[in-house]
Copies of this chain bind each other. A is one copy, B any other.
């Protein structure tokens, strides 16, 4: 066998960083991107520009690859089943990926497996959502379209029976899932990677701090998490990966409740924002292990290289020229690891992240927050 071609569908930052991680392996990396300006398309050598929802475009792209994997969950399941039937390895496969594409399917399957989730039910309309609220202890409840959401999009918190937000989710014409609004202490994420031959590795469980529904900071490992609870969360993620037949990276977003339970919030079957810290903080990054998994190569060591690693997302602000901010950020902190995505700055858009690692968690949090804020333009000293 010669060096294989990994085809990745989607030109976002996850593909960009997967390419970066694949370069040392000597593999060929091929990208299907919506536009030549997409984050990954700027840095990848072999780019096909085309629409991943078009069967012929996707089929032609896939035929040039030894294995197909994904930057996002937006390729229709039926289309992936066709490609698999034609003999193209799709990793993760459609039967696994559907659980990251459809929250209704995901909840039903986790229930079967006895994996704890927030209480939930598919609801038919605002009145049914109110009935769900009454059954589960009252408002607020969370409504989610089963497909198409990310970063707080496709999710509504309904605070009362008369809340206007109760009507919004039903306008998209896809089923709507109602979930109890969990009174959580914090959000955690358990990241694991699994190979076709069944090997799996678990990264340390992290704390994910959200601001306005978007991940702001990740602390690795989650501070103060008892070892037994961390292991339980890792086992839960490994169980999901095995039972759903996931190949590649699986992120399990979790709520840690005030009464000490852990409930599954969301699944993602690709490298994930909660795993970006691994680029500088782990022996093997989530991106490198995703590539190894989809190629069915032995996985790399997921252990941390430092006591603590802190990741902070860089969001777009009012100030468009982030490069000008490099001088101050780099001079202030020579250990700062900047990861920018090549995206135009728009307010609130994720355009990069920073990692710092070391022994002093408060110091690391200050440095990560400072760099992210300075790049965004909300801190000017």
- Fill in one digit per residue for A284-298: 1 if any B CB lies within 8 Å of its CB, else 0: 100000001000011
* Given A4-B323, A323-B4; A24-B337 close (CB under 8 Å): yes
Instruction: Evaluate contact between B28 and A292: CB separation under 8 angstroms.
Output: no
Asked if A43 contacts B24 (CB within 8 A), the reply is no
- Which one of A77-85, A135-143, A339-347 is at the interface? A339-347
Contact of A330 among B17, B47, B297 (CB under 8 A): B297
Partner of A20, one of B23, B47, B305: B23
Knowing A26-B342, A47-B45, A340-B24, say if A334 contacts B16 (CB, 8 Å): no
B298 touches A331 (CB 8 A): yes
- Bound Cα distance A23, B20 (Å): 7
Residue in chain B with minimal CB distance to A354: B24
Minimum CB–CB distance from A57 to chain B (whole Å) comes to 20
Q: Could you say which of B23, B301, B340 contacts A26, with CB atoms under 8 Å apart?
A: B340
Chain A 145-177 interface residues, beta-carbon cutoff 8 Å to B: none
Most B CB atoms within 10 A — which of A19, A298, A352? A298
| Residue contact A334 to B45, C-beta cutoff 8 Å | no
Chain A contacts with B in 19-54, Cβ cutoff 8 A: 19-20, 23-26, 28-29, 41-45, 47
Does A319 have its Cβ within 8 Å of any Cβ on chain B?
Answer: no
Decide if A297 touches B283 in the complex (CB within 8 Å). no
- Candidates B24, B44, B297, B300; contact of A339 at CB < 8 Å: B24
Tell me which of B1, B301, B324, B326 contacts A334 (CB under 8 A): B301
| B19:A43 contact, CB within 8 angstroms | yes
What's the Cα separation between A77 and B366 when bound, in Å?
47
Query: Within 8 Å CB of A2, what residues of B?
Result: 321, 323
* Residue A335 at the chain B interface, CB threshold 8 Å: yes
A228 within 8 Å of B (CB atoms) = no
Complex Cα gap A326–B16 (Å): 23
User: Which of B44, B300, B326, B342 meets A297, CB within 8 Å?
Assistant: B326
Interface flags, A334-367, vs B, CB<8A=1, else 0: 1101111110000000001000000000000000
Given A16-B23, A23-B43, A1:B324 Cβ within 8 A: yes
A341, B305: Cα distance in complex, Å: 26
CB nearest to A329 among chain B residues: B298
Q: B45–A44 contact, CB under 8 A?
A: yes
A327 at interface, CB cutoff 8 A = yes
A52 to B339, CA, bound (A): 31
Best-buried of A42, A305, A322 by chain B (most CB within 10 Å): A42
| B contact residues around A45 at 8 Å (CB) | 41-45, 47
Residue ID in chain B nearest A45 by CB atoms: B43
Do B300 and A25 touch (CB < 8 A)?
Answer: no
A45 to B232, CA, bound (A): 43
Q: Complex formed: what's the CA distance from A55 to B319 in Å?
A: 40
The interface residues of chain B lying within 8 Å CB-to-CB of A47 are 45
Point out residues on A near B: beta carbons under 8 Å: 1-4, 16-17, 19-20, 23-26, 28-29, 41-45, 47, 279, 283-284, 292, 297-301, 305, 321-324, 326-327, 330-331, 334-335, 337-342, 352
- Contacts A/B (CB < 8 Å), 11 sampled: A2-B323, A3-B342, A20-B23, A20-B24, A24-B339, A25-B340, A29-B43, A297-B327, A298-B326, A300-B330, A305-B305
9 A-B pairs with least C-beta separation? A26-B340, A298-B330, A298-B331, A301-B334, A24-B339, A20-B23, A301-B335, A3-B323, A43-B45
